[in-house]
């Protein structure tokens, strides 16, 4: 049971209040020093944000994708890193909610909803990102356990989190390759090693790490769905929601850039008038504002289709592609509008400019989104 869209305003108001009082005043310094926002995470737990999309019967808030996307857009417009703390966690939760056995749902979802267990998804490896079927991490059955060996990289929430949805090969010879792939709920324990935290251009404060699995033993009942060979399918099932949330982040960053630019352009004067009165700046603001509206509407359109249970890979792909490119373009325009100050570490502008490019890459690169859109277009419109 999902929330009614009419019930969402008090939730959105509470999120706005939290962001203004407990995130905005600290974001700049935490990001600059790459400090993990532990107190903010605790507050997010209290607010129930780790359970946004988890069904109420399993202890979550049971929010629709539409309401969830609005929350993410708001968060990302203040500090994008914070949205990543719940985004990939909820993709893991979605994999269990959608594909897990009833026992797995009853055991894990309430703990995910409170944030007692939290983390993200472990898919990418040093030699395999877009081509996930090329992963090399293996899980070999040994009695009532599986023994996992391999390396994962770029795994968000893996240093301060304690659990990830881990994609492995249970059969390295299977053809097609995806039939040999499985997804496990992997809690930290012996053999689950965080080898290093990665230094990043942006998206700082949040932990993104390289992981080593060295004879890591996971109980067989942690295999999501209880059947081998469905791992890639489980991951792909979560991608629509994943793309909607990255798209919402893009809309948020684009909006933040517009807000900074609108304010600054009224304060800064050149040749005797505020720069917002120069037509060159007005053209930029006009384009930026239009991108924001279009991005938010595309996100909402994809989320509403998702909520109706309709196939929305094309719509989610369009929203992800457009909203994240808008984030990048608006961040650059915002920097231009700020002139030299846009290049200063004292303003938020340069953070937006460093955060935005991640969105072009994560949850399926924007090259892949356009290919997905085109394939769907052809499939839906046979000649
Ligand atoms: C900050 C950050 C956080 C991340 N967090 C996570 C996480 O929590 N969990 C996780 O599992 N991963 C995570 N990732 C990894 C991310 O999902 C991958 O980087 C992404 O999927 C791309 O994979 P890749 O880097 O291996 O690039 P590649 O797959 O090597 O792609 C390189 C280039 O080739 C293009 N390309 C590849 N194949 C095709 C094709 N068939 N047609 C056209 N173009 C193609 C791509 O679009 C790209 O431009 C994160 C990455 C970053 C940077």
- The model's pLDDT over 8-43, given as tens digits with 9 standing for 90+, comes to 999 999 999 999 999 999 999 999 999 999 999 999
Q: Which pLDDT tens digit goes with each residue over 349-370?
A: 999 999 999 999 999 999 999 9
pLDDT for position 170: 98
Q: Which residues have C-beta atoms less than 6 Å from ligand 1?
A: 88, 120-124, 129-130, 154-156, 200, 203, 208, 358, 361-362, 365, 367-368
Confidence of residue 238 (pLDDT cuts 50, 70, 90): confident
Quickly tell me which residue has 């472990």 as its tokens: 122
Coil, strand or helix at 150? strand
| 65-69, 311-315, 326-330: the lowest-pLDDT one | 311-315
Task: Report d(CA 218, CA 167) in Å as an integer.
Answer: 13
277 Cα distance to chain centroid: 37
Question: How close is the Cα of 129 to the center of ligand 1, in Å?
Answer: 5
Closest CA to 225 of 95, 138, 118: 95
Transcribe 188-250 into DSSP letters. Answer: --TTEEEEEEPP-SSS-SS-EEEEEEEEEEEEGGGBGGG-TT-HHHHHHHHHHHHHHHHHHHH
Confidence of residue 45 (pLDDT cuts 50, 70, 90): very high
Q: Which pLDDT tens digit goes with each residue over 264-305?
A: 999 999 999 999 999 999 999 999 999 999 999 999 999 999
pLDDT for position 5: 65
Domain boundaries, the chain: 5-118, 120-229, 233-380
**Is 167's pLDDT higher than 90?**
yes
* Mean pLDDT on 173-190: 97
Q: Which CATH architecture has domain 5-118?
A: Orthogonal Bundle (1.10)
- Of 102, 187, 363, 379, the active-site residue reads 363
Do 39 and 205 form a contact (C-beta atoms < 8 A)? Answer: no
Question: How close is the Cα of 264 to the center of ligand 1, in Å?
Answer: 35
Q: Whose CA is nearest to atom 26 of ligand 1?
A: 129
The count of C-alpha atoms lying within 13 angstroms of the C-alpha of 36, restricted to the half-sphere facing its C-beta, is 13
Average pLDDT, the chain: 96
What fold does the segment set 233-380 form as a domain? Answer: Butyryl-CoA Dehydrogenase, subunit A; domain 3 (1.20.140)
Mutate to test the pocket of ligand 1, among 356, 361, 371 (most ligand atoms within 8 A of CB): 361
| Farthest-apart Cα atoms in the chain, separation | 79
Question: How close is the Cα of 159 to the center of ligand 1, in Å?
Answer: 20
Question: How close is the Cα of 130 to the center of ligand 1, in Å?
Answer: 5
Question: How close is the Cα of 125 to the center of ligand 1, in Å?
Answer: 10
Coil, strand or helix at 265? helix
Q: Whose CA is nearest to atom 22 of ligand 1?
A: 129
**233-380 has the same fold as 5-118:** no
Q: Say which DSSP state 71 is in.
A: H
Tokens for 136? 């090399």
Question: How close is the Cα of 220 to the center of ligand 1, in Å?
Answer: 29
pLDDT for position 6: 63
Task: Report d(CA 60, CA 54) in Å as an integer.
Answer: 4
Q: Whose CA is nearest to atom 11 of ligand 1?
A: 123
% pLDDT > 70, the chain = 99
Q: Which CATH architecture has domain 120-229?
A: Beta Barrel (2.40)
pTM: 0.96
* Mean pLDDT on 99-107: 98
Confidence of residue 133 (pLDDT cuts 50, 70, 90): very high
Q: Whose CA is nearest to atom 3 of ligand 1?
A: 154
pLDDT for position 7: 87
Annotation says 363 is catalytic: yes
Q: Whose CA is nearest to atom 29 of ligand 1?
A: 130
Mutate to test the pocket of ligand 1, among 81, 122, 124 (most ligand atoms within 8 A of CB): 124
Mutate to test the pocket of ligand 1, among 362, 363, 366, 371 (most ligand atoms within 8 A of CB): 362
Measured from the CA of 367, which atom of ligand 1 is nearest? 47
Task: Report d(CA 199, CA 130) in Å as an integer.
Answer: 21
**Is 210's pLDDT higher than 80?**
yes
**Is 1's pLDDT higher than 70?**
no
Task: Report d(CA 333, CA 336) in Å as an integer.
Answer: 5
Closest CA to 31 of 167, 206, 199: 206
Residue 176: is the preceding peptide bond cis (ω within 30°)?
A: yes
* Mean pLDDT on 178-182: 97
Q: Which pLDDT tens digit goes with each residue over 110-123?
A: 999 999 999 999 99
pLDDT for position 4: 67
Phi, psi of 308 (to 5 degrees): -85, 0
Task: Report d(CA 120, CA 117) in Å as an integer.
Answer: 10
């Amino acid at each position: 049971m999902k929330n009614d869209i009419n019930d969402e305003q008090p939730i959105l108001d509470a999120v706005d209040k939290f962001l203004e009082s407990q995130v905005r005043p600290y974001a700049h310094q935490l990001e600059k020093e790459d400090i993990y926002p532990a107190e903010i995470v605790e507050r997010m737990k209290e607010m129930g944000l780790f359970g946004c999309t988890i069904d109420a019967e399993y202890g979550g808030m049971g929010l629709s994708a539409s309401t969830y996307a609005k929350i993410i857009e708001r968060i990302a417009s203040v500090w994008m890193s914070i949205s990543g703390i719940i985004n990939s966690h909820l993709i893991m939760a979605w994999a269990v909610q959608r594909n897990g056995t009833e026992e797995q749902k009853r055991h894990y979802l309430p703990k995910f909803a409170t944030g007692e267990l939290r983390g993200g998804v472990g898919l990418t490896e040093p030699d395999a990102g877009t081509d996930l079927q090329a992963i090399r991490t293996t899980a070999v059955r040994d009695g009532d356990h599986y023994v996992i060996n391999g390396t994962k990289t770029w795994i968000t929430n893996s240093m301060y989190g304690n659990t990830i949805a881990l994609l492995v090969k249970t059969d390295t010879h299977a053809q097609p390759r995806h039939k040999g792939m499985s997804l496990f709920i992997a809690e930290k324990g012996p053999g689950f090693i965080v080898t290093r935290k990665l230094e990043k251009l942006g998206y700082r404060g949040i932990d993104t790490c390289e992981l080593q699995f060295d004879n890591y033993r996971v109980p067989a009942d942690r295999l999501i769905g209880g059947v081998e060979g469905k791992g890639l399918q489980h991951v792909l099932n979560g991608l629509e929601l994943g793309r909607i949330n990255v798209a919402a982040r893009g809309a948020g960053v684009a909006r933040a850039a517009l807000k900074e630019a609108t304010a600054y352009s009224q304060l800064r004067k050149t040749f005797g008038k505020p720069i917002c009165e120069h037509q060159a700046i007005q053209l930029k603001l006009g384009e930026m504002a239009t991108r924001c509206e279009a991005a938010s509407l595309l996100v909402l359109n994809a989320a509403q289709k998702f909520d109706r249970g309709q196939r929305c890979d094309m719509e989610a792909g369009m929203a992800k592609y457009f909203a994240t490119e808008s984030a990048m373009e608006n961040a650059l325009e915002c920097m231009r509008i700020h002139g030299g100050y846009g290049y200063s570490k004292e303003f938020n502008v340069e953070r937006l400019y460093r955060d935005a490019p991640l969105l072009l890459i994560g949850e399926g690169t924007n090259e892949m989104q356009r290919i997905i859109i085109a394939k769907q277009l052809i499939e839906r419109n046979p000649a």
